[in-house]
Structure 1
């Protein structure tokens, strides 16, 4: 797998309140495979994580969402946490950045509460997805078919439920990155 993704670029879109394991685990798996990873956020400096029902460590921000374009990357990964996607879904630059990956047929991965960002970006209608259970109704109301599985892939869109699913999530992230663009991945 490493030689198929080595040298590719992935953006991890996150803000304060990201679920620590859902950012750090995919980032580590991608870096280990030779992928260049940028943490893209709404503010410069560092963003603060969330773990075990409390604030946790920080993560340095590599780029502001206003400084990047989807064409600069091969894939988008959005970690969950309740606060992180709630901040991202109200930011028009973050939503534009997210939609652009779908319009360019590039793979996107979202875990836990991160599908809230996809709902607000208007890209879930007709898709089969999973998420944290409390997001189920939101996805269904936005036109997605929700299923209870550790990882779901639908035309280049990877979704998972919780940090317990990270092993399967990371594996599919790498597989979809290796596959590249998906003609049926559309906004």
Structure 2
């Protein structure tokens, strides 16, 4: 499977990128770093700068149908930046329109709100997003990992870095089942 990991040029929570990325590689899949700008992204450990990672594809040139699924890592600044980028929002929405699975952790569902794809879905996130998600028509639950298959695709969500083990296992299982 070829899996897109969408991030902003800076602000992604490093562990929420690297652990799902490594899990995909360990399972024999091809993770692809997609960002809004070419070059490198700057990851963070909460508020402190961490490592940089090379961008594989720019979102405006990436095609949804070239991927089997999408992972949206969190970090507070990352989804806040992505939701203001029309091409990033369209890319995310495209996965839902194409019926491909999506996984989002921590603050990443902010981008889903902007893409208008949470209405009628049950999901989890970092607790501070629950009002935004409810206002966008979602049902928010406080669970380690939640799989929602409302609509044409499956959505996997988790709350925080402590949930990464369950998040990685679940998203890989769901993506594999959807790829059939």
TM-score, length of structure 1 as denominator length: 0.91
Aligned to 1:174: 172
Superposition deviation, residue 81 in structure 1: 0.3
Aligned to 2:84: 90
Structure 1 segments unaligned to the other structure (5+ residues):
1-7, 183-187
Provide the secondary structure at the position in 2 that maps to 1:169: helix
Provide the secondary structure at the position in 1 that maps to 2:142: coil
2:179 and 2:83 map into 1 onto residues whose CA distance is 24
Aligned to 1:10: 3
Asked if structure 2 preserves the Cα contact closer than 8 Å seen for 1:105 and 1:181, the reply is: no
2:43 and 2:31 map into 1 onto residues whose CA distance is 18
Aligned to 1:140: 134
For residue 119 of structure 2, the aligned residue among 77, 102, 125 is: 125
2:89 and 2:161 map into 1 onto residues whose CA distance is 24
Aligned residues: 175
Pairwise CA RMSD: 1.1
Aligned to 1:75: 69
Superposition deviation, residue 181 in structure 1: 5.8
1:52 and 1:106 map into 2 onto residues whose CA distance is 30
Aligned to 2:30: 36
Superposition deviation, residue 47 in structure 1: 0.5
Provide the secondary structure at the position in 1 that maps to 2:118: coil
Instruction: Report runs of 4+ in structure 1 exceeding 3 Å deviation.
Output: none
Superposition deviation, residue 52 in structure 1: 3.8
Provide the secondary structure at the position in 1 that maps to 2:125: coil
1:106 and 1:47 map into 2 onto residues whose CA distance is 25
Asked if structure 2 preserves the Cα contact closer than 8 Å seen for 1:20 and 1:49, the reply is: yes
1:52 and 1:86 map into 2 onto residues whose CA distance is 14
1:43 and 1:102 map into 2 onto residues whose CA distance is 23
1:136 and 1:52 map into 2 onto residues whose CA distance is 20
Higher alpha-carbon deviation: 143-152 or 172-181: 172-181
Superposition deviation, residue 53 in structure 1: 2.7
Structure 2 segments unaligned to the other structure (5+ residues):
none
